[in-house]
Amino acid sequence: MQQLQPKLKNVPTDAPQVCSSTSGGLNREETLSARGIVLGCNNLEVDQPQFHTGGLKAVVYVLSITGSPLMPCKPAKARKLIKSGKAKVIKLYPFTIKLNFECENQVQDVTLGIDSGFRNIGFSCVSEKKELISGTVILDGKTSERLTEKRMYRRGRRNHHHWYRPARFDNRKKPEDWLPPSVQRRYDTHLSLINRMKAIMPISQVIIEIANFDIQKIENPDIAGVEYQQGNMYGYQNMRSYLMAREHGLCQLCSKKFTPGNPSHIHHCKQRSEAGSSRAKNLALLHEKCHTKLHKKGLKLKPARQYKPNTFMSIIHKRFWQDVPGMRVTYGYITFLKRQEFNISKSHNNDAFVIASGTRQERCKPVIIQQKHKNGRTLQINRKGYAPAIRRKRYNIQPFDIVWINGKSNITKGCQSYGTRIYVNNTTIGIKNVEKIYNFGSLAWAI
């Protein structure tokens, strides 16, 4: 039987026999205090299994001489191949090399799991023994704002110059596969992510979690039959009459009735400038004084629930069948049950791991990828200094790109002074001092 040790020396915390046997005070600066007394312990005489809380070490993705993806290798092996001239680096994030010689091109089955979403996309590539890559793509969701800004400046130019624009009624027909620009960009990012994973790993199967929501059923669980054709406005003359009946003729701020001398005003709970809709649930009836008071004091009425994520998922779930051939689908409740079975916490990359048929494979450290605007429209003052102009020239250095200055890498926030200076580490540096540039494109890896 193992005996208790009466005293314990300053054993390193990374010793394989113990999880931690060192008093915290022993690693502090030497003082005259009597703190940090080492007590007896009950250490095992055999090594405990080591659990990698931070995930596997980084792997290097490998392409054959013809560009087809092979199985990833360890960094040490990749370093030897590069030093011997048998491979060359073609991408830093994720670190990818290309072989300069013919090989057997033997690969294993790799499954890609995609946790599709409105704001975030989870992804995970899993082989039989371990997870090869995992992470989350954070979507920026600014397409609607950019289009609103573009529309504002376009109208200003037309009104200022009084250009004549001929009628164009015949060229406004939308194609059958048309999607709203904000939906199209989010969906294109899903496809781009799948293609990028296929470009660096021999993926044999793609599994995507999809969903289809019944918005009317969410709002009214008892709806059935012909009621689907009768919306909120059914039986009412206009929106105001519907709101008046819904609120029983009372102001939603002061709860007093409307009178001929104090009529009703329609108020958006979530403002149009904040991407609020004109749906009935986002509208409120207020007195004129209450409406003015609400805006002056910056008060907010509780906005209606937004169904944009639900609508997005319902739109794209059929598109995947057309654009990702041979894919398989799964659903949220299946992912939930599998996570409960293997005691995996809820996150986008964990969901993707479960979607990719992950069970007990060794996990890797997840990465974070931030979506950014590749070609930003930037406003700047024109030469006369009184009117804004749109800079259409795209500079070589964009925000979140990596630049090397004096041998050190830095993340830039973009260019200034007509592209002659860059913003790095809260200061500006001349672009002539830049030694190398690494452009991320539209998906920037957090480093």
Whether 225 is covered by a domain: the verdict is no
What is the reported pLDDT for 242?
87
- Percentage of residues in the chain having pLDDT higher than 70: 81
Query: Do 259 and 338 belong to one domain?
Result: no
* Exposure class string for 80-89: b at 16+ Cβ within 10 A, else e: ebeeeeebee
What is the reported pLDDT for 316?
92
**Tokens 């997005």 sit on residue:** 312
- Are residues 394 and 375 in contact, defined by beta-carbon separation less than 8 angstroms? yes
Paired strand residues for 21: none
DSSP H or E stretch at residue 163: none
CA–CA gap between residue 21 and residue 15 (Å, rounded): 9
Query: Do 382 and 431 belong to one domain?
Result: yes
Query: Do 318 and 403 belong to one domain?
Result: no
Whether 189 is covered by a domain: the verdict is yes
Whether 327 is covered by a domain: the verdict is yes
Query: Do 202 and 345 belong to one domain?
Result: yes
DSSP H or E stretch at residue 438: strand 436-438
Give the domain range for residue 21.
1-50
Paired strand residues for 415: 422
**Which among 69, 71, 70, 75 has a CA at the least distance from the CA of 57?**
75
Query: Do 38 and 9 belong to one domain?
Result: yes
Write a three-state SS string for 112-155: EEEECCCCEEEEEEECCCEEEEEEEEECCCCHHHHHHHHHHHHH
Pairing of strands 328-330, 203-209: parallel
Tell me which of 340, 371, 402 is where a domain ends: 371
CA–CA gap between residue 151 and residue 141 (Å, rounded): 18
Query: Do 122 and 188 belong to one domain?
Result: yes
Query: Do 358 and 382 belong to one domain?
Result: no
Query: Do 186 and 330 belong to one domain?
Result: yes
Between 421 and 31, the higher pLDDT residue = 421
List alpha helices for 258-408, DSSP H. Answer: 288-296, 308-316, 319-323, 332-342, 348-355
Query: Do 337 and 407 belong to one domain?
Result: no
DSSP H or E stretch at residue 159: helix 143-161
**Tokens 């009466």 sit on residue:** 6
Where is average pLDDT lowest: 66-70, 98-102, 229-233, 307-311? Answer: 229-233
CA–CA gap between residue 413 and residue 63 (Å, rounded): 32
Between 400 and 114, the higher pLDDT residue = 114
Dihedral sign from CA coordinates of 342, 346, 350, 355: positive
Percent helix, strand, coil in the chain (nearest 5)? 30, 25, 50
- Are residues 42 and 78 in contact, defined by beta-carbon separation less than 8 angstroms? no
Whether 224 is covered by a domain: the verdict is no
- How far from each other are the two terminal CA atoms of the chain, in whole angstroms? 50
What's this model's pTM, rounded to 2 decimal places?
Answer: 0.76
- How far is CA 109 from each of CA 130, 206, 305, 356, rounded to the nearest angstrom? 11, 11, 43, 12
* CB-neighbour burial class of residue 378 (10 A; exposed 0-12, middle 13-18, buried 19+): middle
pLDDT digits (tens, 9 = 90+) for 358-386: 998 999 999 999 998 876 555 555 555 55
pLDDT digits (tens, 9 = 90+) for 122-173: 999 999 999 999 999 999 988 988 888 888 877 776 776 666 667 777 777 7
What is the reported pLDDT for 65?
93
Instruction: Please calculate the CA angle 220-223-229 and round it to the nearest 5 degrees.
Output: 110
Dihedral-angle region of residue 418 (phi above 0 means left; psi in -120 to 50 means alpha; beta otherwise): left
List alpha helices for 220-345, DSSP H. Answer: 239-246, 288-296, 308-316, 319-323, 332-342
Whether 221 is covered by a domain: the verdict is no
What is the reported pLDDT for 323?
93
Query: Do 145 and 207 belong to one domain?
Result: yes
Q: Taking 50 as the threshold, does the pLDDT of residue 55 lie above it?
A: no
Query: Do 209 and 319 belong to one domain?
Result: yes
Query: Do 78 and 127 belong to one domain?
Result: no
**Which among 266, 333, 274, 269 has a CA at the least distance from the CA of 305?**
269
Mean pLDDT of the chain, nearest integer:
80
Whether 231 is covered by a domain: the verdict is no
Dihedral sign from CA coordinates of 355, 356, 357, 360: negative
The number of folded domains in the chain is 5
Between 24 and 406, the higher pLDDT residue = 406
**Which among 146, 135, 207 has a CA at the least distance from the CA of 376?**
146
Report residue 388: phi and psi, to 5°. -75, 145
Whether 246 is covered by a domain: the verdict is yes
